[in-house]
Amino acid sequence: MRQTVKALLTTFGVLSSALGVGVTSAHAQAKTITLCWAAWDPANALVELSKDFTAKTGIGMKFEFVPWTNYADRFLNELNSHGSLCDLIIGDSQWIGGAAENGQYVKLNDFFKKEGISMDDYMPATVVGYSEWPKNSPNYWALPAMGDAVGWTYRKDWFARPEIQADFKAKYGRDLAVPKTLDELHDIAKFFQGREIDGKKVYGASIYTERGSEGITMGVSNYLYDYGFQYQDPKKPYSMDGFVNSPSAVKGLEAYKELYKCCTPPGASNSYMSEGLDAFKSGQVALQMNFFAFFPGLYKDPNVGGDKIGFFSNPAGPATQATQLGGQGISVVSYSKNQGEALQYIKWFSGGDVQKKWWALGGYSCAKSVLNDPSFPSSAPFAGEFLKSMGMVVDFWAEPSYAQLLQAEQKRVHDYVVADKGTAQEALDGLVKDWKAIFKEEGKKF
Amino acid sequence: MNDLSTSSQITYRAVPIRSGVIRRIRGLSDRTLAWIFITPTIVLLLAINIFPLVWTIYLSFTNYRANRPNAPTIWLGTDWYQSILTDPDIWAAMQVTAHFVVWTVLIETVLGFGLAFLIDKKFRGHGLWTTIILLPMMLSPAVVGNFWTFLYQPQIGLFNYVVAFFTGRDASSFQMLGDVTLSPWAIVIVDAWMWTPYVMLICLAGLRSIPDYIYEAAEVDRASNWRQFWSITLPMALPFIMLAVLFRGIENFKMFDMVNLLTGGGPGSTTEVASITLKRAAFESWRTGYSSAFAIILFVTVFGLANIYVKALNRVKSR
């Protein structure tokens, strides 16, 4: 008996020593840092990419990815509660103002200077959109990480069918081709609405109409900008009368509503990114408005990808050609206990080769070295349109009060476009009133 | 000697208590002992119920924002209360909430009581039917929300097909969740589907609590079924029905998850109930002071209405 007990104790001792050694050696390896982002295709590409970082530095990577529907709630809660879950965060472009003013992100100017990272190496729109606060000032809170903008996909295979081509020409007197203007896009969407293709009823376009978060604002902006909407008087900041609710902006809002009413699938009153993808992938729509970040995944789709899909940037309107900025920068969270390692990651991520691999894996690099490479436009079927889009992006307010500003637009625009409440003029006048009240509460003078 | 029914003969064996413990407990009055036992509960209640409430009341008079903890906190007095009570958007949200509460409670009470009345008859297989009826209540609101989003989908949703079948309309010609007129009813239907069984359970308990001899006496008096229902069943089950109305009323006044999942408050603001407005102000705009004031207003409203209702309930019970 005594022998048995002795043997057991010895075994236990050996095992615990072994485990102890294991734990010690694991600790000795290196630290692990956590990167927080949305759960989507580019995040998977980043996991793949980050293996090189771990191999090079020995710093382990953990990832906290949250679906888009909860992304802002989850991470803004984390930042506001001074949580240290995220060492690095790829936060939305609108967060920059609030995160900078509330001390949630580490200011990166000194670090960039020390490591020789220059913002001149990145596309100007992405630097302004993802890194700077205040805008157009050399104060950097993030490294441009994931360039993105709203673009369009279309069913190339449907466009190419002779009978559809002939029918379109008979109706509109021109060839069915990628639309160059929003009016042409409207015609195409209307042409496909309710049409029967391969025995199935199809619809014109999937556009953003979501009410709860930011959907309809991200969608309608693509029309508003093109028709002449501006957030403020360029000469007098926060002065919005005649810019937000200008007659041309009103026409833009009316045009978006018209597109929604005439040419979207039934039940598309609350659609955003995933609903758009579903509508396109299931072969319901001829056109789809969505962020470029989804296009690599769509191109690989066995049903609607490859030769069946085409891509184009937001067409021009009567005033200009612009598109809504998406995308994010990567920031170091000021409450992180691993800021040194997180900064190492940013330094590594800014490297030319890493940026090239990032693009190759499905991420959208913002580095000029990648985007300005002569081979870039032909590197993917959507690369040229992406490049074009990044040259004409406009972003929503990035003010610390952006969430309130966003909610106001969501309500006003959804009320008019989807719920048929009031006129476009009333909606935009109301929006100016709401935004003024918000800025007044913020102590802004205008 | 061994007959334990004779209490005088019961002998208790003393359990030895360690002298230290005796020394510690000796000298403590019953009141002190009671305090010792109650204190942890009181501390917990203060920490998780009373303190947050008092803190919320304090914040409701300030400009505090949880995302700007370093900004100076300014005392605003009753500014938020005034602006909330004069804001047409808030009144619109309260109206939406009232519509939702009134209709769901009404439908659930009528249907719940009706189902309880049927189940109480103990027909063949009533146990199985009870289980089937209770199933929706057991699902999580998240599951129910997603499930009904599909059912309401105009192209593939079963709901539209059923309506189309009976009305001869085109199934994709109407949108339950995207139409201003239909969407508030779409939410009422889902809530009624999910929570009618709950009302049914409470009503069933009420019906089962009515003693059989009352019905037997009524039978002897040759009272008709209808007379028995009006004079015995309904009055005696009424306190239970009222209790169900109270529970559902309070719950539906706070309703958030289902509405958020089904419509997100849309189309426009047609289904934006008070809790959605509150969530947006508190956790999206981070207007902590403002949302605290709104939360207090909602709390006072529910508390006040519930108190009036409970008084009425007690009056019914004491009859």
Question: Per-residue pLDDT tens for A263-300?
Answer: 999 999 999 999 999 999 999 999 999 999 999 999 99
Distance from CA of B289 to the nearest CA of A (A): 13
Q: Which residues of B touch A404 (CB under 8 A)?
A: 285, 287
Which residues on chain A are in Cβ contact (under 8 Å) with B265? 211-212
pLDDT grade for B240, boundaries at 50, 70 and 90: very high
pLDDT one-digit tens code per residue, B158-203: 999 999 999 988 888 899 999 999 999 999 999 999 999 999 999 9
Instruction: Assess A415–B contact: CB distance below 8 Å, yes or no.
Output: yes
CB < 8 Å from A in window 132-161 of B: 152-155, 157
Measured in whole angstroms, how far is the alpha carbon of residue B87 from the centre of its chain?
27
pLDDT at B170: 86
Distance from CA of A191 to the nearest CA of B (A): 19
Flag if A73 and B260 touch (Cβ within 8 Å).
Answer: no
Q: What's the pLDDT score for residue B185?
A: 96
Interatomic CA distance for residues B159 and B50, integer angstroms: 46
pTM of this prediction? 0.85
Strands (E), A325-364: 328-332
B258/B261 Cα distance (integer angstroms): 5
| A126 Cβ contact list (under 8 Å, min separation 6) | A144, A147, A327, A329, A366, A390
**And the tokens for B190?**
């889902």
Q: Which CATH number fits domain A32-148+326-394: 3.40.50.1220, 3.40.50.2000, 3.40.190.10, 3.30.470.20?
A: 3.40.190.10
H helices within A295-351, ranges in order?
295-300, 339-349
Residues in chain A: 446
Q: Tell me which chain B residues have a C-beta less than 8 angstroms from the C-beta of A268.
A: 178
Query: Mutual orientation of helices A352-361 and A41-57 as an angle, nearest 10°?
Result: 150
Closest approach of A297 to chain B, Cα-based (Å): 25
Mean pLDDT of chain A: 92
Question: Euclidean distance between the first and final Cα of chain A, in Å?
Answer: 89
What pLDDT is stored for residue A425 in this prediction? 98
Q: What is the CA radius of gyration of chain B?
A: 27
| Per-residue pLDDT at A30 exceeds 70 | no
- Please give the structure tokens belonging to residue B81: 């209360």
pLDDT digits (tens, 9 = 90+) for A186-218: 999 999 999 999 999 999 999 999 998 899 999
The answer to whether B87 faces chain A, any CB pair under 8 Å, is no
Are A226 and A322 in contact, with CB atoms under 8 Å apart?
yes
- Burial label, A37 (beta-carbon count in 10 A; 0-12, 13-18, 19+): buried
Arithmetic mean of pLDDT, B73-81? 95
CB pairs under 8 A between A and B: 91
Write the pLDDT tens digit of every residue in A352-400. Answer: 999 999 999 999 999 999 999 999 999 999 999 999 999 999 999 989 8
Measured over the CA atoms of residue B302, residue B306, residue B307 and residue B312, the dihedral's sign is: positive
Report chain A residues whose CB lies below 8 A from the CB of B66: 80-81
> Nearest CA of chain A to the CA of B154: how many Å?
6
Give the residue-averaged pLDDT of B218-224: 93
User: Residues of A with CB below 8 A from B280's CB?
Assistant: 407
**CATH 3.40.190.10 domain position(s) in chain A:** 32-148+326-394, 150-324+398-442
State the DSSP H helix or E strand holding residue B166, giving kind and residue range, or none if neither. Answer: helix B158-167
Q: Rounded to an integer, what is the distance from CA A295 to the centroid of its chain?
A: 12
> Is the pLDDT reported for residue A4 higher than 80?
no
**What's the CA gap between B299 and B224, in Å, rounded?**
46
Can you tell me the ipTM of this complex? 0.80
- State residue B291's pLDDT score: 97
Nearest-by-Cβ selection for A211 from B152, B265, B283: B265
CB contact under 8 A, B270 and A72: no
Checking if the pLDDT of A19 tops 50, the result is no
CATH code of domain B87-285: 1.10.3720.10
CA B137 to chain centre: 13
DSSP characters over A64-124: EEE-HHHHHHHHHHHHHTT--S-SEEEEEGGGHHHHHHTT-B---HHHHHHHT--GGGB-H
Give the number of other CB atoms < 10 A from CB of residue A267. 23
Q: Which of A403, A343, A337, A347 is nearest to A107 (CA)?
A: A343
B268 and A212 within 8 Å at the Cβ level: the answer is no
* B245, pLDDT greater than 70: yes
CATH 1.10.10.410 is held by the domain A150-324+398-442: no
Angstrom distance (rounded) from CA A430 to CA A396? 18
B207-266 residues touching A, CB cutoff 8 A: 260, 263-266
Mean pLDDT of A421-446: 94
